[in-house]
């Protein structure tokens, strides 16, 4: 657990993927920084902590999302074999720690303990080597790659190797581009809808996070998100144009968004 605690910067977005499932937003950006329990049984759960862009106060030019998506997809394609190997190695390491060492110690005594610990250490060394190679393929300087891979020599840190590599693939990219890539278009549009509504209706009051989103996604895309009804709205339902919550009956305002008047899609009105 101590190895899973890290300092999350202010405004960071936390994404998490469960084994056999898709990515989801684990924690919304917070105004305060602090230590949090981030990792949860990696690689069964893989977590990405995405810090805000260094400069997001002004919006200019064309949206950066298409270009950043291409960069991210190229990096992911280049490292697909490495990330798959690290997930397998991390799973084996976790199973060896939780099940292998106790079972070997119980069955074979001291000899089993020594042999199982040696196997766990060997797996950790192999995992660190694969991670360092993947980091170098991303263009990470040798000293930096060794610094990032060195903690993985610990059997307790080795299962997080795939997180280390995946986080490195996001360096220099907007967290909104990463979120769009891993969440998918529908989930991403649903997630940014409240911030997009606030930015489109009160751009002067929007903070740095909203401007970073607008710079990445683009003004036209944000207006399209706000103007489109959420998926699954039926003829007898209304929806909140800000958060996308769907309502039935005679309800006229959204209780989540300061009693904002509800809307009805053009297809069902």
Is the Cβ–Cβ distance between 184 and 209 less than 8 Å? no
Query: How far does Cα 229 stand from its chain's mean position?
Result: 26
Residue with tokens 């903690």: 151
Residue 94 CA to residue 41 CA, distance in Å, equals 8
Predicted TM-score of the model (pTM): 0.83
Residues in the chain: 269
pLDDT at residue 268 in the model? 46
pLDDT at residue 229 in the model? 87
Q: Which helix (H) or strand (E) holds 227?
A: helix 219-227
pLDDT at residue 160 in the model? 92
pLDDT at residue 46 in the model? 92
> How confident is the model over 83-103, as pLDDT tens digits?
999 999 999 999 999 999 999
What residues of the chain score a pLDDT lower than 50?
A: 55-60, 268-269
Q: Residue 32: which of 56, 49, 10 has the closest Cα?
A: 10
> How confident is the model over 124-179, as pLDDT tens digits?
999 999 999 999 999 999 999 999 999 999 999 999 999 999 999 999 888 899 99
By percentage, how much of the chain surpasses pLDDT 70?
92
Strands (E), the chain: 5-8, 13-18, 23-27, 34-37, 45-50, 237-239, 246-248, 253-254, 260-261
């Amino acid at each position: 657990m101590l190895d899973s605690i890290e300092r999350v910067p202010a405004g960071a977005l936390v994404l998490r993927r469960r084994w056999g499932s898709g990515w989801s937003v684990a924690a919304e950006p917070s105004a305060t920084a602090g230590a949090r329990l981030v990792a949860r049984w990696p690689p069964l759960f893989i977590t990405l902590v995405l810090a805000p862009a260094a400069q997001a106060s002004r919006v200019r030019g064309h949206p950066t999302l298409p270009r950043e998506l291409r960069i991210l997809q190229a990096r992911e394609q280049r490292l697909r074999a490495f990330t798959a190997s690290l997930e397998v190695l991390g799973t084996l390491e976790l199973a060896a720690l939780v099940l292998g060492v106790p079972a070997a110690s119980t069955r074979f005594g001291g000899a089993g303990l020594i042999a199982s610990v040696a196997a766990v250490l060997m797996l950790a060394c192999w995992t660190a080597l694969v991670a360092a190679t993947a980091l170098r393929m991303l263009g990470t300087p040798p000293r930096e790659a060794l610094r990032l891979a060195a903690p993985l020599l610990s059997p307790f840190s080795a299962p997080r190797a795939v997180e280390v590599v995946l986080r490195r693939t996001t360096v220099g990219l907007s967290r909104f581009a990463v979120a769009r890539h891993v969440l998918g278009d529908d989930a991403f549009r649903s997630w940014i809808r409240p911030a997009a509504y606030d930015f489109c209706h009160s751009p002067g009051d929007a903070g740095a996070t909203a401007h970073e989103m607008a710079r990445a996604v683009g003004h036209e895309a944000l207006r399209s998100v706000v103007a489109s009804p959420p998926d699954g709205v039926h003829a007898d339902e209304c929806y909140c144009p800000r958060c996308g919550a769907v309502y039935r009956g005679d309800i006229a305002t959204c209780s989540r968004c300061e009693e904002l008047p509800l809307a009805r899609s053009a297809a069902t009105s």
